[in-house]
């Protein structure tokens, strides 16, 4: 499973934005490792540096020095629609009649082909298969006839799907979040400017203060002089469709998303998991690193309930197993998992173990982990998952797996338990997720765990209709 | 001085076009060393591989294997308008309403900004500053309303300047040459297909036969099944503007351009040079490799005239001095030229030497060469140049130098002779060039040696008006 | 602080050793990231592949395929004596009169120069400044006159310092540990062979069973047919000098060293830390990842003691900040630490915090962490360190810092507390370390925390004399 | 065919030697493209930078800046004995009892294994299979007991074969040439120092003056302060064994070797070729670049003899076909040659052609060239070779081919003519070579064209015995 992208936008008073953008992208690197890019504008012209690779490999000091200008946007990407390679790396830049546009996009449009075809009928030619180019062309076309705010509003009326965007129109940085607020976007204040980012951790990295989440359907326009920002509630929505998986899986534990600290949410989900399906064992053990916060909450709840349970790291993660790793041959396959995760024998031997993770996708890793535990001498191995079973794919910007690959798409929990050979297996309930996140079920996108989506997706069920709204605006100048 | 680009297009009967395109680009590598690219179409979709670097570095076997399809185009590039870097490498690909386009361009438009602005007014957004994207968008737009031939004709009616293009419209390969025929383009026949290329040497490399030059203003449409081609004389022009410098400098000696073998042209220019300004010396010596054919013709004419003159290589060229060379410090500067060209002492010592080259651009190298000759013991050093003095920049697709850098732009020949410290210096006359190439002066682009251009260029004189013509067509099926 | 090296040696029955060596080196990557290498022997000749870089970058499938032979050794390195660069990467290979040698070395000789000079007097010429070449030459020389076991014994009699070696003499793999057992070395059994490695985690990775630690002064000779091994107690020592820092800092938590599981040792050290200097706060927090096991033990002890203390992750580590990171400017310096470690606000705000780490070297990071905690709203920040203060450099193979850089070398604990602005600061006592590791103080190398070394080092105090012993042997064939 | 190596050594008065060494290696790049290296000594220590790759890729400015010291040696290498890869790149450096040695070697020892075994018996361990390490160890050993000159003399008494060496002993640069003078070595004077090099072109590049060839068996010791040099005739030989192929093939035309300018020698060989086997044709044409000087001499002789023959370039060489070239498939094989050499049709069509080259090795290229000529319309194709047939391999440092691959090793000239389908074929006689080079046959190494070698090579005939001589010395201080 991969998050598809991270976006950032920065306007400063008297400093070049390139270095803060660079550090922000480092903070968002977990959201995309395929390519990275920064586009800045110095008041006269745009500067761009986009390449495939990790942030640290894409930019050197010279690159940053050439990215002049106090305003800019950035992007990290894991490839999704639009195919592979440098062609689809972002930010995407275009120049048009009256200026230049740069776009960073996190999310996935469901009607991109439709909008693309309309634009093509008007003569537009496209260099990529990506959603982002479609948004850019539509916006550029609207800007021929309308001012910036109205142009964005018109584009929002035409595109349908999930999107958190940071946009540069000449030297003005904008942030837009789709009307359902599916992908996260926050705004923060720096000592000498403002920042928009996928996660608040990027703001922390710049020593800034999180102001608040950008609202679903809201446009934020940073003042190019770094002194303030305007906001426009361009689309009003009755219900939202926040991605609950950001909290469970993708976002950094130290980020705040839609009002909740991710680390706290995970600990609380862990507590709820114990409440719903706690079992008495000798030791509670996270699958590192993803299960750690869940396990910590789970163990705490167990101990609070008077259980004599040990919270212990029983699996050592090898952080060097990376991209260039030579895969073991068939014979060595079993050993492969021990390269990545090695059991700490004393913690496991002769013990009843509860293994805590955030999800089961294909089931392969869980099977191997249970076997590892038994080989290391575990008497019982119980598996607890801090989220509901994933039964359907994500169409909103996460690279999960095909429906066929998802073990829970056609197996009952008991069948999965048997497959992974655990002594017991429990998932968290959907309701517990909604309650923990302080949301109505209707305000979350639960497509991957219910199979019902808050967007019209061909061949999939819809959980409701989507409304399109009225314009409003407020100003937060200083 | 650099040629800007080389283009190629191939349609075959039953073979993938990728490898022949690759070998063609090798044959055209001297026309552009900055980037290389191939775009093919397999009947269903386009495949593209474009990167910065030499042909041999850009493609490996795997890359060629993935470029499926019996039709394709290719490009080698030296960067000109449109700036640097991977963004402007070609072929340029776009998809639009009813298909895909790929373009390879050699030349330079003089009204690109104007056409770009018109398209921008219609909502077009551009990802680069290049001419090629402008042509692509204009053509894509025309294709919304017209068939391929009429669409190309309409685009040719709008763009003004020099262009030899190979174009892929879905799996159809086209070749177009501008109405003045400024840049070269030829068509050839292979055992199992047809090829369009900047120079006939690319056809030789594929063991094909040169059919003829593509005519100024002509469109050639290769049949996607490799069995034939159609031609359309889309624009009829009263006069042409062939670049004479292709013959003098850029093209390979083994290429045929506009009916003349380049090697023969250079030898004949050398003979004319002797006739116009021959001088009796002990030895005639080329500046390698550019002056070799001129010197050979010159020496022959001298010997035919009964002169007792030796034709000898007196300068040894080091072929390894390349891109990554560490420049000598100021103190070592003088020695630098000897790294690249070292005099063969015995050939020079105590001799009166005639040094033959094809041009003098800034004068720096000539100065160093004359000094080298004297250091090696030459008694006299006479310089003869196989072309007229370059007095003005090129706007048609050659990266010459700015007017300020051109030594002949504000110095008389006598002043240049003094600057380079030669005992005598002569250039070839413009008339000799025209006669040798078998053309009227009016049918050549002589802008760089006369300052009068066959195109309307802001701030420069024009040698005449340009006509726009009537449509015609012929078919060469088999 | 860096461990200097990891070594491995493998003999198999019917499989090539290259891939198991590769996976072992992955398991030992934390012991050296500068270079990696494998040398194998196929019965006829040696094969070698050694390069600078991480294991995953150094080897591709083709490299492994060419490393034929069922016997081989491997090495990962962080550069120490012998300087930088590819010249000193290991294993070091030499051929000599009657065969070939390959050596992998972890440790540091204290009399290398002396032995080198003696060999030089005999005509030996050296290609590097490294200890390893000295050992190789000495061994090669001894092998002219003696059998393998006696030759190794004679070399052990001449070299002085810390060394765990894996050696290939033709196709025989040996393991040797210095008489004080300073650096770790273990032997394990695979389904079809035997393995020697710096840490038992490498054996786990191959699905093997740890047999035991190689004893100080012991030579282990693997049978080239993978069916067994012989051992020879070549040097008998009265006391050992195990490096306690392997347990505290370097080794993987899942490794067993000298009879102790590192994870357990760290948890126990954490418990002892609470017992010695526990303080009541709201939350106990590890500095990730190094302080995690200590903090877990500390928190457990606190809870066992009835404390109402929360064990929580309060610092989020960014795993992408790596080698190619562009350092912040002076102004941005403060922000730099937040790129690497970002506080999770809710866990910290309004709380009294105990921060647990394994060491303080220069004090810079601790100062920044305390400040981070306060910025995040911590009411009190107490720092507890799971080891004694480092007051002196390491000469035995760890790249610690110069004495000048070590904050504890000339500051009292109170002065350090003030410098890092903590509310309180405590270290663990040396005795607690010895007791936890189940060793006499005399059997540990405590040089870096006492300034008294178990080896004669010029300008440093010695904690005792070192004895040189008698030969013995045992056989563990099957 | 490949030359194996180029060597250089420089001592300057007040400048670092690194940059002059770098430019010298550029001038010698044609002698080895596999690796390049420089070793300097600054009076205190040695600095070394050796890598695989071309000179321009191996060194950047930073590398040169770190190579401190006014004395240094350099090397370019094509791999021969000692195998492939970075391990065998040179200069080879070792440190030993009383200092450091650096060696650059051009040539091939015939008794390296024997000397290596002797040294191994004394305990020497070797890191490579190369000759150079053997020479280095032997010299280091001798230096334990004797002064530099006597040590070199003793080593020269033990090693047998071809060698031109530049050596650094601490900061003293030496040049040594084997007693038969097989490989070239010259000494030259710079404004502020002295230089030893394989070819005089390297001296020209530094704006220096060629003093003379180093004599066979002579040792030249440059003064480390750059003010002069001493010479010692360490071995006196009655006859020499200069490699005639340096003149015919390897050396640069602008180099002086053993008193002869290579370009002049080649022109004269061309004249002799016409005298011995001239034939009347319409055009004389070189195979570029190797046949150019021969063809020029041949054509001149033909014209002097009153022939109406045209000297013309009829083959265009593509200079971009290099290392990374993707080889054509079997089907495309024929086309491959036209990528590298394309006939200029007008020069060939309907003409009787004489094609001049310097050698025929396997015959493949010649066959293709004759066919190319006929395809281009040549009426007759006559081939003339400026050297005798190569009938046997080279053991002295040139990578020619195996005996089986050499077409002339078991075919008569008539059979070769038939194979390559030429109308006639002639080689130059051995006597003409000797006369042209102004040498007795006995003073040339003609092994490859006679099968009789001036060295004892197992399984090959010897042309005479080799003498070992008396010591002498002279001084050329200033």
Contact C117 D95 (CB under 8 A): no
Which pLDDT does position C162 carry in this prediction? 92
Does B151 contact chain A (CB < 8 Å)? Answer: no
Averaged confidence pLDDT in chain D: 89
Nearest C-alpha neighbor of A288 from the set A181, A369, A171, A188: A369
Contact D27 B339 (CB under 8 A): yes
pLDDT in tens, A314-333: 899 998 876 566 776 666 65
Task: Read off the CATH number of the domain in which D280 is found.
Answer: 3.40.50.2020
Q: Looking at residue D239, what is its pLDDT?
A: 85
| Pairwise CB contact (< 8 Å): C124 & D121 | no
Task: Show residues of chain C in contact with D144, CB under 8 Å.
Answer: 121, 123
Nearest to D293 among B22, B205, B313 (CB): B313
Query: Looking at the DSSP assignment, which residues form a beta bridge with residue C461?
Result: C452
B95 touches chain D (CB under 8 A): no
Q: Which pLDDT value is given to residue A473?
A: 41
pLDDT over 70 percentage in chain D: 91
Q: Give the pLDDT score at B476.
A: 46
* Binding-site annotation: residue ranges of C for Mg(2+): 290, 357-358
pLDDT band at C428 (very low <50, low <70, confident <90, very high): very high
For residue C144, the chain D residues in CB contact (below 8 A) are 121, 123
Domain annotation covers residue D96: yes
Whether residue C293 lies within 8 A of chain A, CB to CB, comes out as: yes
Q: By CA distance, what is D337's nearest residue in B? A: B205
- What does R_g of chain B's alpha carbons equal in angstroms? 23
Give the CA distances from residue A333 to residues A86, A344, A419, C207, in Å, rounded to whole numbers and listed in that order.
33, 20, 18, 11
Q: Any idea what the CATH number is for the domain that residue D157 is in?
A: 3.60.20.10
A417 in contact with B, Cβ within 8 Å: no
Mean pLDDT of D235-250: 89
Residue B1, pLDDT score:
57
Residue with tokens 């150094």, as numbered in its chain = C58
C95 touches chain D (CB under 8 A): yes
| A30 falls within a domain | yes
**Using N-to-C axis directions, what is the helix angle for B333-340 and D18-27, rounded to 10°?**
20
* pLDDT for residue B313 is more than 90: no
Q: Give the global pTM.
A: 0.83
Kindly state whether residues C265 and C156 are assigned to the same domain: no
Please choose, from the candidates C250, C279, C285, the residue with its C-alpha nearest in 3D space to the C-alpha of residue C370: C285
Q: Does a structural domain hold residue D478?
A: no
d(CA B214, CA B234): 12
What is the distance, to the nearest Å, from the Cα of residue A368 to the centroid of all Cα atoms in its chain? 27
Residue D466 has what pLDDT?
42
Interface membership of D400 toward B (CB under 8 Å): no
**A111 and A77 in one domain?**
yes
Q: What is the pLDDT of residue B474?
A: 45
Looking at the fold, whether B355 and B418 belong to one and the same domain comes out as yes
Task: Chain C: list its partners (3+ Cβ pairs within 8 Å).
Answer: A, D
- Minimal C-alpha gap between C328 and chain A (Å): 8
Q: Are residues B308 and B371 in the same domain?
A: yes
Residue C96 to residue D144, Cβ atoms within 8 A: no
The domain of C404 spans: 261-436
Burial of residue A63 (CB within 10 Å: 0-12, 13-18, 19+) is: middle
Confidence class for position B323, pLDDT limits 50, 70, 90: low
Q: If you average pLDDT over residues D111-124, what whole number do you get?
A: 92
Using the beta-carbon criterion (under 8 Å), do C23 and A321 form an inter-chain contact? no
pLDDT band at A129 (very low <50, low <70, confident <90, very high): confident
Determine if residue B88 is labeled as part of a ligand binding site.
no
Query: Does D108 share its domain with D186?
Result: yes
Q: Which residues of A touch C321 (CB under 8 A)?
A: 26, 56
Cα–Cα distance measured from residue B191 to residue D344, given in angstroms and rounded to the nearest whole number: 21
Whether residue A52 is found in the same domain as residue A16: yes
Half-sphere exposure of B303 (CA within 13 A, CB side): 20
**Taking all residues of chain C, what is their mean pLDDT, rounded to a whole number?**
89
D394 is in an annotated binding site: yes
C89 vs C191, more confident: C191
Please state, in angstroms and rounded to a whole number, the distance separating the CA atoms of residues C336 and B47. Answer: 44
| Mean of all residue pLDDT scores within chain A | 89
Residue B87 is among the residues annotated as catalytic for this protein: no
- In this complex, do C123 and D122 lie within 8 Å of one another by their Cβ atoms? yes
* Residue D182 reports pLDDT greater than 80: yes
- Which of D95, D120, D141 lies at the smallest CB-CB distance from C126? D95
Task: Give the residue ranges of DSSP H helices in B305-357.
Answer: 333-340, 345-348
The pLDDT assigned to D332 comes to: 63
Q: Do C320 and A201 touch (CB under 8 A)?
A: no
pLDDT, residue C87, reads 45
Closest Cβ opposite residue C344 in set A22, A253, A323: A253
B224 shares a domain with B144: yes
Residue A324 domain flag: yes
Cβ separation B127–A124 shorter than 8 A: no
In this structure, are B227 and B278 located in the same domain? no
Question: B47: which chain A residues are within 8 Å (Cβ-Cβ)?
Answer: none
Q: Which residues of B436-475 are buried (b: 16+ CB within 10 A; e: fewer)?
A: bbebeeebbbbbbbbeebbbebeebeebeebeebeeeeee
Size of the A and B interface in Cβ pairs below 8 Å = 70
Annotated binding site of A: 243, 290, 357-358, 394, 445, 448
Any A CB within 8 A of B86 CB: yes
* Adjacent-strand bridge partners of D41: D46, D71
Same domain, A205 and A291: no
Q: Which residues on C lie below 8 Å from A338 (Cβ)?
A: 204-205, 207
Q: Are residues A345 and A387 in the same domain?
A: yes
Rounded distance between C-alpha atoms, residue D88 and residue C282, angstroms: 64
Q: Which chain C positions have a beta carbon within 8 Å of D141's beta carbon?
A: 123, 125
Q: Which residue of D has its CA nearest to B293?
A: D313
DSSP conformation letters of C10-71: EEESSS-SHHHHHHHHHHTGGG--SEEEEEEE-SS-EEEEEEES-HHHH--HHHHHHS-SSE
Q: Does one domain contain both D236 and D266?
A: no
Q: Could you tell me if residue C448 is inside a domain?
A: no
Say how many Å lie between the first and final Cα of chain C, rounded.
Answer: 42
Distance in Å, alpha carbon of A120 to nearest chain B alpha carbon: 4
Can you give the pLDDT at residue B466? 42
SS3 C273: helix
Q: Report, as an integer, the average pLDDT of B153-173.
A: 96
In this predicted structure, which of A21-30, A194-203, B400-409 has the lowest mean pLDDT? B400-409
Question: What are the chain B neighbours of D374 within 8 Å (beta carbons)?
Answer: none
CA distance D219 to chain C (A): 22
| Per-residue model confidence as pLDDT tens digits over C349-359 | 999 999 999 99
Residues in CB range of C271: below 8 A, 6 or more apart: C297, C298, C300, C301
Two structure tokens written together for D325: 């070239």
pLDDT at position A329 is: 67
Domain count, chain A: 2
Annotated binding site of C for [4Fe-4S] cluster: 243, 394, 445, 448
- State whether D316 and B26 contact (CB < 8 Å): no
Owner of token pair 């929360």: C310
pLDDT of residue A320: 84
Joined tokens for residue D37:
């290296």
C-beta atoms of C56 and A320 within 8 A: yes
Longest dimension (CA), chain C: 73
Residue of chain D with shortest Cα separation from C96 = D125
State the pLDDT at residue A477. 43
> Between residues 47 and 66 of chain A, which touch chain B (CB distance below 8 Å)?
none
Residues 6+ apart with CB under 8 A from A59: A22, A36, A38, A49, C326
pLDDT at A84 > cutoff 80 = no
Percent of chain D with pLDDT over 90: 68
- How buried is residue D271: exposed, middle or buried, by Cβ count under 10 Å (0-12/13-18/19+)? buried
**pLDDT tens track for D436-468:** 998 889 899 999 999 999 888 877 887 754 443
Residues of D serving a catalytic function are 5
Do B and C share at least 3 CB pairs under 8 Å? no
Same domain, C88 and C215: yes
With a cut of 50, say whether residue C472 has pLDDT above it. no
């Amino acid at each position: 499973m991969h998050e598809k992208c991270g976006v950032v936008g920065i306007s400063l008073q008297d400093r070049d934005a390139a270095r803060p953008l660079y550090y922000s992208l480092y903070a968002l690197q977990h959201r995309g490792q395929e390519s990275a890019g920064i586009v800045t504008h110095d008041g006269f012209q745009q500067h761009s540096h986009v390449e495939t690779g990790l942030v640290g490999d894409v930019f050197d000091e010279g690159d940053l020095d050439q990215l002049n200008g106090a305003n800019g946007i950035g992007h990290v990407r894991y490839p999704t629609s639009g195919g592979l390679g440098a062609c689809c790396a972002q930010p995407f830049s275009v120049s048009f009649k009256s200026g230049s546009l740069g776009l960073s996009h996190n999310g996935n449009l469901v009607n991109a082909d439709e909008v693309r075809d309309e634009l093509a009928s008007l003569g537009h030619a496209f260099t990529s298969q990506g959603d982002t180019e479609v948004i850019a062309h539509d916006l550029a076309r609207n800007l021929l006839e309308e001012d910036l705010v109205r142009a964005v509003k018109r584009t929002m009326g035409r595109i349908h799907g999930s999107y958190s965007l940071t946009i540069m129109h000449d030297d003005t940085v904008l942030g837009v979040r789709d009307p359902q607020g599916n992908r996260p976007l926050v705004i923060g204040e720096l000592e000498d400017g403002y920042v928009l980012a996928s996660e608040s951790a990027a703001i922390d990295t710049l020593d800034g203060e999180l102001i608040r989440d950008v609202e679903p359907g809201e446009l934020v326009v940073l003042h190019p002089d770094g002194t303030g920002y305007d906001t426009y509630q361009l689309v009003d929505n009755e219900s939202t469709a926040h991605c609950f998986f950001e909290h469970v899986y993708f976002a950094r534990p130290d980020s705040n998303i839609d009002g909740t600290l991710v680390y706290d949410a995970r600990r609380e989900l862990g507590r709820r998991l114990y409440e719903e399906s706690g079992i008495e064992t000798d030791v509670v053990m996270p699958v590192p690193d993803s299960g750690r916060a869940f396990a910590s909450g789970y163990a705490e709840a167990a101990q609070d309930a008077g259980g004599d349970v040990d919270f212990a790291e029983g699996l050592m993660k090898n952080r060097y197993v990376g991209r260039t790793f030579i895969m073991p041959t068939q014979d060595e396959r079993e050993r492969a998992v021990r390269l990545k995760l090695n059991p700490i024998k004393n913690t496991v031997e002769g013990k009843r173990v509860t293994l805590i993770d955030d999800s089961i996708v294909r089931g392969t890793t869980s099977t191997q982990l249970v076997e590892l535990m038994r080989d290391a001498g575990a008497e019982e191995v119980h598996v607890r998952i801090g989220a509901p079973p994933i039964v359907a794919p994500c169409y909103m910007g996460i690279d999960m797996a095909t429906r066929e690959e998802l073990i829970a798409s056609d197996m009952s929990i008991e069948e999965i338990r048997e497959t992974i050979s655990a002594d017991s297996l429990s998932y968290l309930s959907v309701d517990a997720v909604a309650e923990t996140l302080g949301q109505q079920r209707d305000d979350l996108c639960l497509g991957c765990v219910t199979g019902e989506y808050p967007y019209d997706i061909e061949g999939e069920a819809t959980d409701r209709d989507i409304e399109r709204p009225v314009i409003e605006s407020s100003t937060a100048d200083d």
